[in-house]
């Protein structure tokens, strides 16, 4: 099968590395250096700097662009997309993106399919040079329910996700995806950034940290353009999750402030039990 | 040198494993199973279930008890502590503990020394069975400035910390220690617990998480007794750090709520720069 990748960054590069032994993989990217590097390192079989030729030659295309760029991509290129092309989209937010694309669709009849998916995996690094098959191995993948998709395209997307090494592949609604990811992904990044920003002493911090601080701040080395896009385009769910989290922080603060050990023990027990349930679920899956 | 350890849990056990090739290490613990396990696994050379004999036989004693137990320990045993004993205390809070011990000291003249220290290292696990030399290797260690300590005892404490594999050994005031650790350690635990507690969907969460959620929640598997003690006994600094963090979370929330991309970029850039400075400092130390 001829697979194309648009946008050969960390995730696009990881898709290429995960599938290039079973399929002919080509890529389109605006950076010539990226394409040269990917060819030289045998990450892809073929490189394109012309989008028309790329779209003509590929039947299944992973769309590895930030959400807002995806809209621009279809605005610019919808007239040159050939019939029956399957796009597999991979960004971290869905409801807003699908809504915006549906508005676009009304403008013109199209004869291609977009399956919205999310490899729930990443690194605090960018670019094809940091791509790595292990990022996907045994990971989670979400495919968004969408009645417009052809069943064989859903099936192919699922099969390719298995080939990339994903362990748990869930088919869920765009809404539920965005609500869950607002919690597991966008909120965690807001927390990490806020933790880093609240440091104010003038002391070499690295002498007074253990694993907990290092773990909680790893993701503060953030890809600003990507996360700006995700935060803004999942605003409603994210604001609601931030509020829930603030309420729980406030419960701890109030219990500590009142020396209320009973309440503190209750809150810690609740977290310990929920976390053990999560670990148990994770273990049962692997 | 004859080294004793009171309280053979995760940290006591790790001290034993880190020093037992160079010194004769004995331990006192209220659990006979713990002592039997430690002897059978050659973690210690000698076990005591009688505190009088233990105190008589050891000159340098690591006091590996939770802060509130330390007060009780000195209340109960001060009359049987022999002259010139050096206690090296290792808990995660200092100001409150030292104050309480000073009040005790007024009751009776003592002829022993307590050096207050903090191996800034741990695991989300408890007990001697989980102790591991790697927990300390290349880690951070703090020794509290205290004019009452004899210089040779400070020097010995420092030398033993080096022998245990610690990389950065800082000598700082109790106040600064408690302020920094409220931020790097206690606040991070409050955040992790609050994040776990704010989950409310009824979905198998483990299918929708990536590394960020796993990293931020690892420490939610908390040792409740220990952290209760730390939270309550470092209340003032901790409440102040929670407030700072809440203010920074609120800045993100407000920027997202107003679609203020300029402010969002500014906040993300600030975190990215602070975090890179921290990583740079960490690298320079290793």
Please tell me the predicted confidence (pLDDT) of residue A31. 96
Q: Mean per-residue pLDDT for B140-146?
A: 96
Indicate the pTM of the whole model.
0.92
A230 at B interface, C-beta within 8 A: no
- pLDDT confidence band for B122 (50 / 70 / 90): confident
Range(s) of the domain holding residue A42: 2-173
Same domain for A27 and A147, yes or no, is yes
What is residue B68's predicted lDDT score, i.e. its pLDDT? 86
Last residue of a domain, one of B125, B156, B172: B172
Round to whole Å and give the CA distance between A71 and B139: 48
Q: If pLDDT is split at 50, 70 and 90, which confidence band does B111 have? A: confident
For chains A and B, what is the number of CB pairs under 8 angstroms? 293
Residues of chain A contacting B247 with CB distance shorter than 8 Å: 198
Residue B206 lies in a domain: no
Residue B166 with chain A: CB contacts under 8 Å: none
Q: What's the pLDDT at A229?
A: 93
Are A26 and A48 in contact by the 8 Å Cβ rule? The answer is yes
Token pair recorded at residue B71:
């007060």
- Tell me the HSE value of B90 on the side-chain side, using a 13 A CA sphere: 29
Contacts of A235 (CB under 8 A, 6+ apart): B256, B257, B259
| pLDDT 10s digits, B219-239 | 999 999 999 999 999 999 999
Are residues A147 and A24 both part of a single domain?
yes
- pLDDT per residue, tens digit, chain A (286 aa), is 899 999 999 999 999 999 999 999 999 999 999 999 999 999 999 999 999 999 999 999 999 999 889 999 999 998 899 999 999 999 999 999 999 998 886 656 568 999 999 999 877 778 999 999 999 999 999 999 999 999 999 999 999 999 999 999 999 999 999 999 999 999 999 999 999 999 988 899 999 999 999 999 999 999 999 999 999 999 999 999 999 999 999 999 999 999 999 999 999 999 999 999 999 998 876 5
Contact B279 A241 (CB under 8 A): no
Average pLDDT, chain B: 94
B252 touches chain A (CB under 8 A): yes
B193 reaches A (C-beta below 8 A) = yes
The ipTM is: 0.92
The domain boundary residue, chosen from B172, B190, B219: B172
Q: What is the pLDDT of residues B27-44, one digit of tens each?
A: 999 999 999 999 999 999
| pLDDT for residue A164 | 97
Mean pLDDT across the stretch B276-284?
90
In this structure, is residue B168 part of a structural domain?
yes
User: How many distinct structural domains can be found in chain A?
Assistant: 2
A250 with A112, same domain: the answer is no
Q: Which of A90, A121, A172, A197 to mutate to test the interface with B (most CBs of B within 10 A)?
A: A197
pLDDT of residue B1: 80
* A138 and A156 fall within a common domain: yes
Of all helices (H) and strands (E), which one includes residue B271? Answer: helix B261-285
Residue B74 domain-assigned (yes or no): yes
Q: Band the pLDDT of B286: cuts 50, 70, 90.
A: low
pLDDT at A108: 65
Backbone angles phi, psi at B7, to 5 degrees: 95, 90
SS (H, E, C) A37-64: HHHHCCCCCEEECCHHHHHHHCCEEEEC
Do A167 and A227 lie in one domain? The reply is no
Which of B:151-180 have CB within 8 Å of A?
Answer: 168, 170, 176-177, 179-180
Spatial distance between the Cα atoms of A114 and A98, rounded to a whole number of angstroms: 10
Which residue has better confidence, B200 or A16? A16
**Domain C-terminal end among A173, A204, A238:** A173
Both A164 and A183 in one domain: the answer is: no
- Say what the pLDDT of residue A69 is: 92
Tokens found for residue A215:
């773990």
- Confidence (pLDDT) at A195: 98
Pair A184, A83 in one domain:
no
Query: Would you place residue B107 in the very low, low, confident or very high pLDDT band (cuts 50, 70, 90)?
Result: low
The β-bridge relationship of strands B113-120 and A168-172 is: unpaired
Burial class (CB within 10 angstroms; exposed 0-12, middle 13-18, buried 19+) of B258? exposed
CB-based contacts of A41, cutoff 8 Å, min separation 6: none
Residue A111 contacts B where some CB pair is shorter than 8 Å: no
């Amino acid at each position: 099968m001829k697979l194309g990748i648009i946008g050969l960054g960390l995730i696009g590069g990881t898709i290429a590395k995960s599938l290039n032994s079973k399929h002919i993989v080509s890529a389109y990217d605006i950076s010539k250096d990226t394409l040269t590097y990917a060819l030289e390192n045998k990450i892809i079989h073929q490189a394109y700097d012309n989008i028309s030729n790329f779209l003509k030659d590929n039947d299944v295309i992973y769309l590895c662009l930030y959400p807002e760029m995806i809209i621009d991509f279809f605005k610019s290129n919808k007239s040159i997309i050939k019939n029956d092309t399957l796009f597999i989209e991979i960004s971290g937010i869905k409801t807003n993106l699908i809504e915006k694309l549906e508005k676009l669709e009304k403008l013109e009849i199209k004869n291609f399919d977009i399956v919205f998916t999310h490899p729930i995996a990443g690194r605090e690094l960018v670019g094809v040079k940091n791509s790595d098959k292990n990022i996907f191995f045994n990971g989670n993948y979400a495919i968004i329910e969408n009645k417009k998709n052809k069943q064989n395209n859903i099936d192919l997307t699922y099969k390719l996700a298995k080939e990339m090494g994903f362990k748990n592949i869930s088919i869920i609604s765009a809404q539920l995806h965005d609500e869950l990811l607002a919690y597991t992904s966008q909120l965690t990044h807001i927390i990490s950034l806020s933790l880093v920003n609240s440091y104010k002493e003038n002391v070499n911090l690295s002498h007074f940290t253990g694993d907990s601080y290092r773990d909680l701040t790893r993701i503060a080395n953030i890809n600003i353009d990507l996360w700006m896009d995700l935060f803004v385009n999942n605003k409603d769910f994210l604001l609601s999750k931030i509020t829930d989290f603030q309420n729980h922080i406030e419960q701890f603060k109030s219990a500590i402030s009142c020396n209320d050990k009973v309440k503190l023990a209750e809150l810690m027990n609740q977290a310990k039990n929920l976390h053990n349930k999560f670990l148990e679920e994770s273990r049962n899956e692997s």
